[in-house]
Amino acid sequence: MVSLTEARETPVIQLWDEIDEIHAGMLGLQGEHMHMQPMAPFVDRETNTIWFYSKTDADLVQRIRPGSRAHFCVVGKNHDYHACLSGTITETRDPAKIDEYWSSIVAAWYHGGKSDPTLTMLALRVDDGEIWASTGNSLRFGWEIAKANMSDEKMPDVGVHQHLAFTPTLAKQ
């Protein structure tokens, strides 16, 4: 169950923790007429960067240009946490990054291993985001709905919504 206190007090730490717990989110380029696609994220907390393995012939990779921006949307594994992040996206074939996140799961997609000619990585440098953390407690949810229905001015308090603007000091929060 997601912590609403963490969502209020340390939202960036909670965000990276939540992304570390999921297998995939949806990645898409801004301004392109194409659907978002599922991608497995690898978080670099120090630089506010999310890394993705991809193939050079993928439509998404083919459409990346200098200055391209992307969105990455996630739903937490318990379905009580949602985030939408944006930032600049670039393609790189940095062997150190390829090696850093490599696993047997990643290897299954690349027949040539780490030297597969179609292997590339995408770096989403996150600079903006929004998170929504909601209570998974059905008793609390019911109580908040009942309270809201008994008052014309009361909204149910079932979660936390935060806007995050990423800066170097925010990454260490």
Helix (H, G, I), strand (E, B) or coil at 146: helix
pLDDT tens for 79-118 read 999 999 999 999 999 999 999 999 999 999 999 999 999 9
- Alpha-carbon gap, residue 13 to 81, rounded angstroms: 13
- Is residue 156 within 8 Å of 145, Cβ to Cβ? yes
With a CB cutoff of 8 Å and minimum separation 6, the contacts of 162 are 7, 8, 11, 130, 131
- Say which CATH number the domain at 83 has: 2.30.110.10
- Is residue 40 within 8 Å of 22, Cβ to Cβ? no
Instruction: Give me the pLDDT at residue 168, please.
Output: 54
In 3-state terms the chain splits into helix, strand, coil percentages (rounded to 5) of 30, 35, 35
DSSP state of 16: H
- Is residue 56 within 8 Å of 118, Cβ to Cβ? yes
**Residue 173 pLDDT level (bands cut at 50, 70, 90):** very low
Q: How many CB atoms lie within 10 A of CB 15?
A: 27
**Least confident span in 45-49, 83-87, 126-130, 153-157:** 153-157
Q: Which amino acid is at 170?
A: L
Length of the chain in residues, anyone? 173
Q: How many CB atoms lie within 10 A of CB 98?
A: 21
- Is residue 129 within 8 Å of 83, Cβ to Cβ? yes
pTM reported for the whole predicted model: 0.86
Instruction: Give me the pLDDT at residue 4, please.
Output: 87
Domain with 71 in it: 4-172
Tokens of 156: 């149910």
Q: How many CB atoms lie within 10 A of CB 166?
A: 20
- Contacts by 106-110 with C-beta closer than 8 Å and gap 24+? 106/40, 106/53, 109/53, 109/55, 110/53
Q: How many structural domains comprise the chain?
A: 1
